[in-house]
Amino acid sequence: MNAVIDLLNSHRSIRKFTDQPIPQDTINTLVQAGQSAATSSFIQACTVVQVNDQAKRDQLVECSGGQAYVGEAPVFLVLCADMQRNKLACEMNDAAINSGFTEQFITATVDVGLFAQNLTIAAESIGLGIVYIGGIRNQIARVSELLDLPELVYPVFGLCLGYPDQNPEVKPRLPVDVVLKQDSYNDSNDQATIAEYDKSVSEYYRTRTGGNKEMTWSEQMSGMLVKEARPHMLKFLQEKGFLLK
């Protein structure tokens, strides 16, 4: 349809990178692109920690469950939801922030997601590859301590950046008919549509793994969502000053 939409539709997660470095000026430009994303009520609640120290990178590999590319990628960023800066803004105007609201947690976290997607699209537009690392939340308290994150700041996810050294296929997404509803939530045809979609996902995995994996999307979801999902997160977030009311 156009070059931007073609770029968006060609997204792949890249987990193997060349040794080619990324100039710091390029990283700065990508972060500026992230800043240009929409931000709720202008709160601008995203802070990015670029982790250069290899010892810290190695610890982040452990925190993320052994994902080696966290340590190997030319650039690793940790994107944080940050209301501490907004607290400072209040103090600069002799006001006390009324923090802890669930709405503040939502808006700050959404800000990070929008920021990250802008950054990602900008990166891919200049030939870089990326992969998001939600695994840093496996040991989120350790990550927070490692990066000296204060109250009202929490790491949402990591992001590996580099020039791709692999060319994986694009993973098929759910059909638009399942995702786009008209006027109300009508899922009467979703089961049949998802069953058909499962076939394409199974073929994708079979092709990608040389026949070693033939899992459907619904099988993947049913295997994942019957398990606990990082139950330590609520306590950690509350200790950071989020989700208190």
pLDDT digits (tens, 9 = 90+) for 127-185: 999 999 999 999 999 999 999 999 999 999 999 999 999 999 999 999 999 999 999 99
Query: pTM of this prediction?
Result: 0.95
* 207 pLDDT more than 90: no
48-to-94, 101, 110, 149, 193 alpha-carbon distances in Å: 27, 23, 14, 11, 39
Measured distance CA(16)–CA(160) in Å, rounded? 10
So what's the pLDDT on residue 179?
A: 98
Please, which residues have CB within 8 angstroms of residue 17's CB and are 6 or more apart in sequence? 69, 72, 73, 74, 129, 160, 162, 163, 164, 165
**Longest CA–CA separation in the chain, Å:** 63
Strands (E), the chain: 46-50, 75-82, 129-133, 153-162
Do 186 and 203 meet the contact criterion of CB atoms below 8 Å apart? no
Q: In this prediction, what percent of the chain has a pLDDT beyond 70?
A: 99
